[in-house]
Amino acid sequence: LPEPLASQNDPSHAAHPSPLWHAFADMSKVPETRVVLERGQGVWIWDTEGRRYLDSTAGLWYCALGWGREELAEAAAAQMRKLATYSTFGDMTTNTTLELAERVASLSPMPNTAVFLTSGGSESIDTAAKIVRRYWNVLGRPEKRVIVSRGMAYHGIAGFGTSIAGIPANREGYGPLIEDVHVVAADSTQELEKLFAERGHEIAAFFGEPVRGAGGVYPPVAGYWPEVERLCRQYDVLLVCDEVITGFGRLGAWFGSAHYGIQPDIITGAKAVTSGYQPLGVVLCNERVQEPFYSGKAGVLRHGYTYSGHATACAVGLRNLEIMETERVLERGAEAAKAMVELFEPLRRHSMVKQVRTEGLLAGIEICEDARKRVPNVVDQVLWQARKNEVMTRNMLGHSLQFSPAFIITQEELRFYVERMLTSLDAVA
Ligand code: PLP
């Protein structure tokens, strides 16, 4: 088997184990392959040994602008010097927070959007889930509390997000989770229609990612989203688009729902809103959803986080969105996406590859079943080879590799990626 890339720089090796418990990791294996990263510029990152990698995933799907943008560091520093934050609890906030909400609302596909702020995707999902349940409760229909989600969906790891997870492994082993949830087959609007017809009176909302991301990058089948929107309207089910990955430009439009021509009731977002330079999540609500909460009917929504509306995160978000507009970053991402489809042709044809799924600047490169049977941990083996070949990539569920670079990736960098991935696949084949 190819040797994993051991980090000689890793102080946790053998004698000095690090106390750091990594996220989504088997801690019995992490010290063998840990990479300690130090700096970044554009789509490139460097580890503490000075090794360079093309960051083909933009961190965890978030670094839309690329690394090393001084303006974002300056925006954070300027805000911290004035007032680092003040929580948006009760009637307090900061001007920076108000401005960020205004800017996000102006990009929303829904008119007169209200923006609830969190520190990330999981908090945004739990906020959306609590808002939809509370919405029906206040309207005198407490029986409408079932949340429907899609197979292989990823909605973060907080209480509701874990409970509605479509990836079974993410739900297992925690005992009873939140009740009244239901997972449907990802692309079947027939199953959804049958469920809505039978149980629509109990269903609060349908949650879905415009493109299922962490589940392996699966774009929807043609016509899927307009049909889901139609069914939600027909059966009076709120439509929640989880745009933690697709929000803020990944598919070329500001939101994936706009890309697919639909108007959800709620959109959750995070990641690219700050390019990941600060943790920030958003929950966009249309007029219908706001109404009971803004009219006084619902009283206080007893929900929110210490860092809801964190001023430094908002300052970075504002600067990030401003740069995205002034530097035509979405357009550049869309151009890169177009080039990607063509440049990925040799990857598609590689004997190790079953399928390359693309949508916007997203791709899932699935390794063929034969190789998965033949080579133990084959996706990790490719990933370790890729590291040796200066590409940082990510294993999705043991079958596919993630591609979700910064929107500013150049054609030359796309070619570098393809070349190095072909070499890495050859080494494992
Ligand atoms: N929803 C989707 C679609 C995601 O992809 C993610 C994270 O990748 C989340 C929610 C959770 O976001 P976070 O990790 O910021 O809590």
Residues 275, 366: one domain?
A: no
Please determine, for residue 8, whether its predicted confidence score (pLDDT) is greater than 90.
no
Task: State the closest ligand 1 atom to the C-alpha of 161, by its place in the atom list counted from 1.
Answer: 10
pTM of the predicted structure, to 2 decimals: 0.96
Q: Range of 169's domain? A: 70-326
Joined tokens for residue 93: 């906030």
ipTM attached to this prediction: 0.99
Residues 415, 334: one domain?
A: yes
Residues 104, 230: one domain?
A: yes
Q: Is the dihedral of CA 18, 24, 29, 32 positive or negative?
A: negative
- Give the per-residue pLDDT at 15: 53
Distance 269 CA to ligand 1 centre (A): 8
Residues 280, 333: one domain?
A: no
Residue 18 placed within a domain? no
Residue 5 placed within a domain? no
User: From CA 139, how far away is CA 205, in angstroms rounded?
Assistant: 14
How many separate domains does the chain show? 2
Residues 277, 292: one domain?
A: yes
Residues 263, 386: one domain?
A: no
Task: State the closest ligand 1 atom to the C-alpha of 243, by its place in the atom list counted from 1.
Answer: 3
The backbone torsions φ and ψ at residue 396, rounded to the nearest 5 degrees and listed phi first, read -105, 105
Residues 350-400: tens digit of each pLDDT? 999 999 999 999 999 999 999 999 999 999 999 999 999 999 999 999 999
Residues 140-192: tens digit of each pLDDT? 999 999 999 999 999 999 999 999 999 999 999 999 999 999 999 999 999 99
From 24, 218, 244, the mutation candidate for ligand 1 (largest count of ligand atoms within 8 A of CB) is: 244
Residues 336, 322: one domain?
A: no
Residue 188 placed within a domain? yes
Residues 356, 220: one domain?
A: no
Between the CA atoms of 333, 338, 342 and 344, what dihedral angle is there, to the nearest 10 degrees? 40
Give the residue from 326, 341, 370 where a domain finishes. 326
Residues 62, 204: one domain?
A: no
Residue 16 placed within a domain? no
The CA angle 276-117-101, to the nearest 5 degrees, is 90
Mean pLDDT, to the nearest integer, of 80-107? 97
Residues 60, 149: one domain?
A: no
Q: Which residues line ligand 1 (CB under 6 A)?
A: 60, 120-122, 125, 154-156, 209, 213-214, 242, 244-245, 270
Residues 189, 101: one domain?
A: yes
* Residue in the block written with tokens 């964190």: 310
Residues 21-76: tens digit of each pLDDT? 999 999 999 999 999 999 999 999 999 999 999 999 999 999 999 999 999 999 99
Q: Read off the CATH number of the domain in which 130 is found.
A: 3.40.640.10
Confidence of residue 1 (pLDDT cuts 50, 70, 90): very low
Report the nearest-CA residue for atom 13 of ligand 1. Answer: 121
Please determine, for residue 9, whether its predicted confidence score (pLDDT) is greater than 70.
no
Q: Read off the CATH number of the domain in which 52 is found.
A: 3.90.1150.10
Please determine, for residue 5, whether its predicted confidence score (pLDDT) is greater than 70.
no
Residues 333, 374: one domain?
A: yes
Distance 198 CA to ligand 1 centre (A): 31
